Amino acid sequence: MLVLSEKDIKNSLTMEEAINVMEEAFLKYANNEFVMPARNFSEVKGEDTLLVMPCFVDDCIGLKVVTSYPSNSTSSSPITQGLVLINNRETGDPLAIINGTLLTAIKTGAVSGVAMRILMKDAESIGLIGTGLQGMYQLVAAVSSTSVKTIYLFNRSSEKIKKFIQEFRKVSVREINIIPVLDIMELVRHSQIIITATTSVSPVLPDESGLYNNKLIVGVGSYKSNMRELPQKLFEDSDYYYIDSEQGKVECGDIIDPLEKGWVKNNQIVLLSDFFKGELPISQNKNPIVFKNVSMALFDASIGNYVYKKARKLGIGQEISL
């Protein structure tokens, strides 16, 4: 069995590859070419959560075990940590244990990268709210999928931004102009794409009608029913609300609340995978475009299986016997 560390992943996977793998996973989702039992959420303490996410796709069984600990926001430990396990689907043999912390960040970034490539690939300015590991790879994906030239950054802890910029420079494939801001409104005004990657349970964007016209809003951080990053007026101003999976409708507050409160109707919520069937409706007016990145085990299994095979081919990783 192969053990793949953070370093091994970086040496065997580019963001461009990850985005392409996610496009293939969206196509499999559209064609129902997978088996995905419901993922299990268990509260450990307060908002800190354990998630177990299985999926059978192609020739593998993928299982992600991940912790999400918002309480780590004041410590040196990442908020999201995990492992991805890959087994042979035919025999059940264990094949790989993969660092799921970095792989999750890359995979989630790549899912947003697919959305940005489809919905606003010509964008030249991007704003990011939330400068954690997840935000880092959202920007890496944006660089790989759009024409971004300028990035605006906002974080409630402004002292973290300098280190974030230094780390981003190390992983970005090209030089980008980066502007930290102290006011979210300044970020919103200047950004064609706005990415929220926080652990907030209440909206982090201003609730103002007309503010998001001609913009793409990518919501990443909220993943539970009591979490919502996006404001009411954004939904009411939008023609369509693009999501990556049906299960988000029963799991994620950024989808549950708008539906229950009538800010969007069910027929306005569209699966991004419809693009790969040639059925994705696109608004032709200036109203905002909204994409919610919920993610699912299909994505984790697909990227885990790809990295395992790539590492095998390159001779990367540590071989162990159980």
Could you tell me the CATH number of the domain that includes residue 310?
Answer: 3.30.1780.10
Whether residues 302 and 205 share a domain: the answer is no
Whether residues 8 and 61 share a domain: the answer is yes
Q: What mean pLDDT do residues 168-182 have?
A: 92
Q: What mean pLDDT do residues 210-221 have?
A: 96
Range of the domain at 268: 106-292
- 80-134: pLDDT as tens digits: 889 999 999 999 999 999 999 999 999 999 999 999 999 999 999 999 999 988 9
Q: What mean pLDDT do residues 251-271 have?
A: 94
Whether residues 135 and 94 share a domain: the answer is no
User: What is residue 21's predicted lDDT score, i.e. its pLDDT?
Assistant: 98
Whether residues 79 and 58 share a domain: the answer is yes
Share of the chain above pLDDT 70, in %: 99
Whether residues 161 and 22 share a domain: the answer is no
Whether residues 179 and 310 share a domain: the answer is no
Which residue type is seen at 55?
Answer: C
- 263-289: pLDDT as tens digits: 999 999 999 999 999 999 988 789 999
Asked if the model's pLDDT at residue 37 lies above 70, the reply is yes
Whether residues 174 and 254 share a domain: the answer is yes
Give 142's Cβ-side CA count (13 Å radius). Answer: 29
Asked if the model's pLDDT at residue 168 lies above 70, the reply is yes
55-91 b/e with 16+ CB inside 10 Å = b?
bbbeebbbbbebbbbbebeeeeebbbbbbbbbbebee
Mean pLDDT, the chain, whole residue set: 94
Asked if the model's pLDDT at residue 9 lies above 90, the reply is yes
What's the CATH code of the domain at 170? Answer: 3.40.50.720
Question: How many whole angstroms separate alpha carbon 51 and alpha carbon 82?
Answer: 9
User: What is residue 158's predicted lDDT score, i.e. its pLDDT?
Assistant: 67
Give 198's Cβ-side CA count (13 Å radius). Answer: 22
Whether residues 140 and 282 share a domain: the answer is yes
Q: What mean pLDDT do residues 302-314 have?
A: 98
The owner of tokens 């395992």 is 308
Q: What mean pLDDT do residues 215-229 have?
A: 91
Whether residues 110 and 246 share a domain: the answer is yes
Whether residues 16 and 45 share a domain: the answer is yes
73 in Cβ contact with 84 (< 8 Å)? no
Is residue 210 packed enough to be buried (19+ CB in 10 Å), middle (13-18) or exposed (0-12)? exposed
The neighbour count for residue 289, using CB atoms within 10 Å, is 22
Asked if the model's pLDDT at residue 75 lies above 90, the reply is no
Q: What mean pLDDT do residues 55-68 have?
A: 96
Whether residues 180 and 33 share a domain: the answer is no
Return the higher-pLDDT residue of 174 and 111.
Answer: 111
Whether residues 277 and 134 share a domain: the answer is yes
Number of domains composing the chain: 2
